[in-house]
């Protein structure tokens, strides 16, 4: 009997006792899986929450603050648990915490939460915490805990378990690559959530097995006790506060820069997972490269590339010529170079395994501070996107390997001030000599400044201070070279972006410009005779004006719903006796359009029009059925269109709110995305017809220089469109691009829409017939 019991006990022990290669493999695979889940859920849930705040690009940045803060909480929990509890208790406690997360699965947006436009960032963080806080917290703590458990074993690499960090980052990277390329195009959000739940359950089992395997190897023939293994070696010095601050700072820079790049790209292209995950994937890739046993990128190469890339970043942020591929590539390349240098520095200064959880805790603190600075503090501190160039300049300090002496700091300040003063002096002289070639003059000045700054690359504090001086000079240069001596009247910032009103001189006298992000959306002439003339995209002879006038000719007085207020130019398309209702997500824009101080379209043409603040879909859902004759969708956020306003469900909602024979108008002008094909595809999917127009103002049209080429789609029943547009031959049938299939609330694919745009987009009937 004793022999049988001994055999059974030996079999039980051998079941979870792995050789070195097996132990490393099971720990690596479990870390890989937990990291994959951790990073797959981030774009998944952010996409679920995106429609609740009008598809605003800052939803992702705020989401990242939550994820980073929860990751920090997970690291604190892992640090305390591994420090004060025996290994067996650690395993049981963590498996229980993971099991508690099952209560919140499958993941979905918590019901009963009404979006807040007053404090959207805090509201969003609360929503994330309630909806997926516990499972995300539990998974986030797994990486440092499993690495700590591995360090307790008698494995020959237990003294340096950082190779497991690379395995974890590989799982994260694969998740971020797979989400926009495989997961998002293949599965709806509901399916994604259920698959994530299955993966979570499997991960709980895997972590339990890994924990037992760690215990088995810890209790093997190695006579050293757990307590002794936990106790640090005498040669392993305790980290100083200078070291901890250095770790935090090196983690802060790439974290903040990552969100700066993300904000820039999503505000000017689309608030979509494709552009969310690219900077985050590069962020993780730099971690992988830094923490491999042998660095993938030599330190000398990284340092050599760092200087020119940071100079490119500074100038490109200030003077940007839009090209989708070049814009994305340039910003991501600059970010990669800076993040790689910071993470190389971090990896080179990592402590021994006993201080592993404290080290990761400091990295996490830096990540949270960087994310919080961009998403929460910057909108309150700055009225424009200052944090991006600011962190570019601060990243130059990553070249330093020690704290500056007083002499180094003083010399750096003198050098930076000298660079700024010299560039401004050159600006004055050069503009006098090259008055008709101002752009060339600016390029010459920047080139001289860049050479001067680069000459100090071996003196990190001089280099950083010189870069700051050059950045200040470039900002002044940008103002001087502004077209028409443009002056800014209003510039404010909110959760939803940066709003700017500027005034310049035109051939028609003074003119005001409405700029959101980096995109010019509207214009208004100041003189009283012309101030009621809609300009930019909203010309009366353009698609907006045609849609209104053709429908008015067919139906008489109109009841119109307009999604996206902008400067309020659509108000001057209304006639007496009509009811127009405007829906605007950003209170700043609503105030700008209605106050009468920045723009006077609303106050002059429709002073009593109703403007409702909030997400348009949520607000329109409350309107009576059969209420509108026309719904116009023009909800821009810089150049990014909220995807949830152009889905199958959105169109179905619009149709229920229309009167019999009413129409839906989509403004689809876009520099990077084939929105027209998306609009036509959802119309066909719903059984409606669609007509498109690509309008270009004639040179003899009044105010032609201030009216923009515009693309739009009208959606309705085929007989209604045939009748209403009988004399409008420029409105044509349209064939969506082959890459596009109908978007839904559960499915949208921005990658396909960008690829379709690059491939030429869909085609009108005339273009098809001409082939």
Q: Supply the pLDDT for residue 738.
A: 93
SS3 assignment, position 541: coil
Distance CA 256, CA 248 (A): 12
Query: At a CB cut-off of 8 Å and minimum separation 6, what does 354 contact?
Result: 151, 230, 231, 232, 233, 236
In this predicted model, what pLDDT tens digit does every residue of 319-372 receive, in sequence order?
Answer: 655 566 677 788 888 889 889 988 888 888 877 767 777 887 888 889 889 888
- Which 3-state string (H, E, C) describes 57-90? CHHHHHHHHHHHHHHHHHHHHHHHHHHHCCHHHH
419 pLDDT exceeds 80? Answer: no
Alpha-carbon dihedral sign for residues 503, 504, 510, 513: negative
Q: Is 616 helix (H, G, I), strand (E, B) or coil?
A: helix
Write the CA distances from 323 to 271, 326, 537, 568, 671, integer angstroms: 18, 5, 21, 29, 9
Least confident of 208-217, 226-235, 435-444: 226-235
Determine how many CB atoms are found less than 10 A away from the CB of residue 690.
25
How many Cβ atoms sit within 10 Å of the Cβ of residue 503? 18
pLDDT of residue 480: 61
Cα dihedral: 324, 752, 681, 642 (round 10): -60
Distance separating alpha carbons of residues 358 and 496, to the nearest angstrom: 36
User: In 373-517, where does DSSP find H-type helix?
Assistant: 378-381, 387-394, 406-433, 438-454, 460-480
> What are the distances in angstroms from CA 139 to CA 78, 99, 100, 623?
11, 11, 11, 42
Which of 382-416 are b and which e, b meaning 16 or more Cβ less than 10 Å from the residue's Cβ? ebebebbbbbbbbbbbbbbeeeeeeebeebbeebb
What is the DSSP track for 218-271? Answer: HTSS----HHHHHSPPTTSPPPPHHHHHHHHHHHHHHHHHHHHHHHHHHHHT-S
pLDDT band at 167 (very low <50, low <70, confident <90, very high): confident
Other CB atoms within 10 Å distance of the CB of residue 430:
19
pLDDT at 131 over 80: yes
Distance CA 436, CA 257 (A): 37
Q: What are phi and psi of 763, to 5 degrees?
A: -130, 145
Q: Which of 725, 726, 698, 699 is nearest to 713 (CA)?
A: 725
pLDDT at 228: 43
Over residues 189-198, the mean pLDDT reads 93
- 160: DSSP letter: -
Residue 414 makes CB contacts below 8 A (sequence gap 6+) with: none
Q: Residue 545, Cα to own-chain centre: how many angstroms?
A: 34
Q: Which residue has the higher pLDDT, 335 or 396?
A: 335
β-bridge partners, 767: none
- Model confidence at 127: pLDDT above 50: yes
Q: What is the pLDDT of residues 595-652, one digit of tens each?
A: 888 999 999 999 999 999 988 998 999 999 999 999 999 985 445 668 889 999 999 9
Q: What SS3 state is found at 498?
A: strand
Nearest C-alpha neighbor of 398 from the set 520, 324, 307: 307
Share of the chain above pLDDT 90, in %: 31
């Amino acid at each position: 009997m004793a022999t049988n019991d001994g055999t059974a006990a030996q079999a039980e022990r051998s079941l979870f006792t792995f050789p070195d290669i097996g132990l490393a493999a099971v720990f690596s695979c479990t870390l890989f899986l937990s990291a994959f889940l951790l990073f797959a859920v981030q774009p998944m849930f952010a996409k679920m929450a995106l429609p609740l705040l009008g598809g605003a690009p800052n939803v992702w940045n705020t989401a990242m603050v939550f994820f980073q803060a929860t990751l920090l909480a997970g690291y604190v929990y892992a640090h305390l648990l591994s420090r004060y509890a025996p290994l067996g208790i650690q395993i049981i406690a963590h498996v229980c915490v993971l099991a508690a997360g099952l209560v919140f699965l499958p993941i979905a947006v918590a019901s009963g939460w009404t979006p807040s436009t007053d404090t959207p960032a805090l509201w969003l963080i609360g929503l994330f915490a309630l909806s997926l806080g516990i499972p995300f917290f539990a998974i986030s703590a797994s990486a440092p805990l499993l690495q700590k458990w591995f360090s307790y074993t008698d494995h020959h690499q237990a003294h340096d378990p950082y190779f497991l960090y690379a395995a974890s980052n590989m799982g994260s990277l694969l998740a971020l690559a797979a989400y926009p390329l495989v997961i998002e195009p293949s599965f709806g959000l509901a399916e994604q959530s259920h698959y994530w739940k299955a993966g979570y359950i499997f991960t709980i089992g895997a972590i339990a097995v890994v924990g037992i395997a760690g215990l088995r190897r810890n209790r093997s023939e190695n006579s050293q006790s757990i307590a002794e293994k936990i106790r640090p070696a005498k040669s392993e010095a305790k980290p100083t506060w200078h070291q901890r601050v250095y770790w935090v700072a090196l983690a802060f820079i790439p974290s903040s820069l990552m969100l700066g790049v993300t904000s820039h790209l999503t505000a000017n292209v689309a608030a979509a997972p494709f552009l969310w995950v690219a900077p985050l994937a590069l962020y993780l890739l730099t971690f992988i490269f830094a923490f491999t046993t042998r660095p993938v990128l030599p330190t000398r190469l990284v340092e050599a590339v760092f200087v020119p890339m940071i100079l490119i970043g500074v100038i490109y942020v200030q003077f940007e010529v839009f090209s989708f591929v070049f814009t994305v590539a340039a910003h991501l390349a600059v970010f990669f170079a800076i993040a790689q240098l910071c993470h190389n520095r971090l990896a080179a200064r990592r402590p021994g395994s006993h201080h592993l959880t404290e080290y990761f805790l400091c990295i996490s603190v830096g990540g949270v501070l960087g994310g919080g600075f961009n998403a929460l503090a910057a909108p309150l501190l700055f009225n424009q996107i200052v944090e991006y160039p600011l962190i570019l300049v601060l990243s130059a300090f990553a070249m330093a390997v020690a704290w500056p002496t007083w002499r180094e700091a003083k010399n750096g300040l003198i050098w930076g001030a000298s660079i700024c003063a010299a560039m401004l002096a050159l600006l004055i002289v050069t503009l006098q000599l090259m008055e008709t070639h101002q752009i060339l003059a600016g390029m010459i000045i920047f080139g001289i400044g860049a050479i001067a700054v680069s000459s100090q690359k071996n003196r990190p504090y001089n280099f950083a201070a010189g870069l700051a001086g050059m950045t200040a000079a470039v900002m002044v240069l940008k103002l001087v070279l502004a077209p028409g001596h443009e002056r800014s009247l209003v510039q404010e910032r909110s959760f939803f972006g940066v709003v700017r009103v500027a005034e310049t001189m035109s051939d028609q006298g003074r003119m005001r410009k409405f700029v959101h992000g980096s995109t010019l959306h509207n214009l208004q002439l100041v003189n009283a005779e012309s101030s009621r003339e809609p300009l930019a995209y909203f010309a009366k002879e353009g698609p907006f004006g045609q849609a209104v006038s053709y429908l008015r000719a067919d139906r008489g007085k109109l009841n119109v719903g307009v999604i996206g207020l902008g400067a309020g130019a659509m108000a001057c398309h209304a006639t007496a006796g009509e009811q127009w209702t405007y829906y605007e997500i950003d209170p700043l824009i609503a105030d700008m359009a209605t106050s009468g101080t920045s723009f006077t379209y609303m106050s002059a043409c429709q002073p009593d029009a109703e403007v409702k603040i909030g997400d348009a879909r949520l607000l329109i859902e409350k309107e009576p059925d059969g209420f509108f004759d026309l719904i116009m969708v023009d909800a821009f956020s810089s150049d990014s269109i909220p995807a949830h306003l152009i889905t199958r469900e959105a169109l179905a909602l619009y149709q229920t709110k229309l009167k019999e024979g009413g129409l839906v108008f989509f403004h689809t002008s876009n520099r990077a995305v084939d929105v027209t094909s998306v609009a036509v595809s959802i119309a066909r999917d719903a059984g409606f017809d669609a007509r498109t127009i690509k309008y270009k103002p004639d040179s003899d049209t009044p105010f032609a220089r201030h009216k923009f080429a515009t693309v739009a789609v009208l959606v309705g029943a085929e007989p209604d469109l045939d009748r209403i547009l009988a004399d409008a031959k420029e409105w044509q049938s349209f064939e969506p691009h082959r890459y596009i299939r109908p978007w839904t609330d559960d499915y949208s694919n921005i990658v396909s829409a960008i690829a379709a745009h690059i491939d030429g987009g869909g085609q009108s009937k005339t273009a098809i017939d001409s082939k």
